[in-house]
Amino acid sequence: MQLEVLGLGGAGCRLADAIRAAAPADHAFLTDVFAFDTDESTLQGTVIPESHRAQYGQGTALEGSNGLDGDLEQGFEAGQAVVDDLLAVRERAASTAPDAILVTVGLGGTTGGPTAPALVATLQRTVDAPVYVLATLPADREFDPDAGGADRGPHSGVTATTESDEPPRPAAASHAIRTLEALDGLANAIVLFDNEAWLRPGETLADARSRSNREVATRVAAVFAGSDTDGTVAQTVIDASDIARILGTESAIVSLGYGEQAVETTSSRFGLGLLPTERAVETSEAVSAVETVVRKGVRGKLSLECAPETAARGLLVVGGPPSWLNRQAIAEGQRAFQSTIGGTGVLGGDAPRPDGETVFAAVVLAGVESDRLERLRAAAD
């Protein structure tokens, strides 16, 4: 699959940068990666080539971190005004027609979020490929001064906002929900990552940023790289049409899961560490490893907290060294996955990674229901 990524706003640019870094060198599923932001320093902090990034919003309501002054409608209008300039950068630099476009953005802010609906709408009219959105949800402490734990004691597991953290954004919940509503009906699907759920005890938003972005990027690369590989053919190939079938066309809310386990890939004669050879893998070992990572992918921490049973559709990609991906292991992993999905639209495939040292499972849950969104809606009222 050939994926193009457009980072929008500070959070979106950092996500795009992380996805570019997570792409395996021998699985070139990325056609182009772009970064668009109102802050030049954010753009310069990425490794995205200068030809693929642009500063925008000067002289509009988007300029400056508080330019909207709480008026999101003004931000939507300003976003519409800059879209043509952003797409001109894309058209000049784009190298290959993509199978899909992924717009990455942080919700709740005042730059990327307000521009995202106009950008997605214009891409849908001008590009013959599905347009997906990958969006981060704000943490509670960004809009709720009591959520940081200042009054909860030293053992509460959370900390108050510090000077190293992001400045407070009282309207973040409202902006996030209203931007999601604006994207509904425009994006083919909306993949969500909840910053609140991924904060560790005592960790600030600034401290968590790089780690969280890597977690997101790992999941995106595992899903969209799919069965792309050099030389080794997958038993069941996952391609762009499979991903489009699962993600759908009706702005489904999507959560991603991921699990991995390190495995031995070589052995040596006489146990002396000499003459390494490819290790023979017992079927029972392969089945156990695959079942473990599938369970982690489905029941572990998801990008958006939800019950997998609420998903209308699901996709499972099991990857790793070919010797660990025997048919029985993959089939049993897929059966385990299918038994957890409430809907009937379930697909599965494998992703051989000849140089890999882990077995992994990437999980896509599409059309899910999440209490987290309801809590944000309540906070936005």
- Is residue 65 in some structural domain? yes
Any domain includes 307:
yes
- Predicted local distance difference test score (pLDDT) of residue 367: 96
Same domain assignment for residues 192 and 280: no
Domain that holds residue 84: 3-225
Query: Would you state the pLDDT for residue 53?
Result: 94
Whether 378 maps to a domain, the answer reads no
Instruction: Identify the pLDDT of residue 37.
Output: 93
Kindly report the CATH number assigned to the domain that includes residue 85. 3.40.50.1440
Residues 43 and 151 in one domain: yes
Question: Is residue 236 one of the residues assigned to a domain?
Answer: no
Tell me whether residue 372 is in a domain. Answer: no
Mean pLDDT of 368-374: 95
138, 265: one domain: no
Same domain, 198 and 293: no
pLDDT band at 92 (very low <50, low <70, confident <90, very high): very high
- The per-residue pLDDT for range 274-303, each reduced to its tens digit, is 545 566 888 899 999 999 999 999 999 999
Q: What is the pLDDT of residues 239-282, one digit of tens each?
A: 999 999 999 999 999 999 999 999 988 654 555 555 455 668 88
Q: How far is 151 from 147, CA to CA, in rounded Å?
A: 9
The residue type of 66 is N
**Rounded CA separation 127/34 (Å):** 16
For 98-128, what is each residue's pLDDT tens digit? 999 999 999 988 789 999 999 999 999 999 9
Q: What is the mean pLDDT of the chain?
A: 86
The answer to the question of residue 240 being in a domain is no
Residues 181-198 have a mean pLDDT of 97
* Interacting residues of 213 by C-beta distance below 8 A, sequence separation 6+: 14, 15, 17, 18
Distance CA 294, CA 364 (A): 12
- Which H, E and C letters describe the chain, residue by residue? CCEEEEEEHHHHHHHHHHHHHHCCCCCCCEEEEEEEECCHHHHHCCCCCHHHEEECCCCCCCCCCCCCCCCHHHHHHHHHHHHHHHHHHHHHHCCCCCCEEEEEEECCCCCHHHHHHHHHHHHHHHCCCCEEEEEEECCHHHHCCCCCCCCCCCCCCCCCCCCCCCCCCCCHHHHHHHHHHHHCCCCCEEEEEEHHHHCCCCCCHHHHHHHHHHHHHHHHHHHHHCCCCCCCCCCCCCCHHHHHHHHCCCCEEEEEEEEEEECCCEEEECCCCEEEEECCCCHHHHHHHHHHHHHHHHHCCCCCCCCHHHCCEEEEEEEECHHHCCHHHHHHHHHHHHCCCCCCEEEEEEEECCCCCEEEEEEEEECCCCHHHHHHHHHHC
pLDDT at 157 (0 to 100): 35
pLDDT tens digits for 30-47? 999 999 998 899 899 999
Residue where a domain stops, chosen among 225, 242, 276: 225
Same domain, residue pair 22 and 104: yes
Do 214 and 273 fall into the same domain? no
pLDDT in the model for residue 164: 44
Statement to judge: residues 158 and 12 lie in one domain: yes
Same domain, 263 and 216: no
Count of domains for the chain: 2
Local confidence band at 230 (pLDDT 50, 70, 90 cut-offs) = low
**139 & 217 share domain:** yes
Q: What is the CATH number of the domain that holds 285?
A: 3.30.1330.20
Q: Is position 350 within any domain?
A: yes
12 and 98 both lie in a single domain = yes
- Same domain? 198 vs 261: no
Band of pLDDT at residue 158, cut at 50, 70 and 90: very low
Same domain assignment for residues 335 and 208:
no
Residue 36: what pLDDT? 96
Query: Is residue 245 assigned to a domain?
Result: no
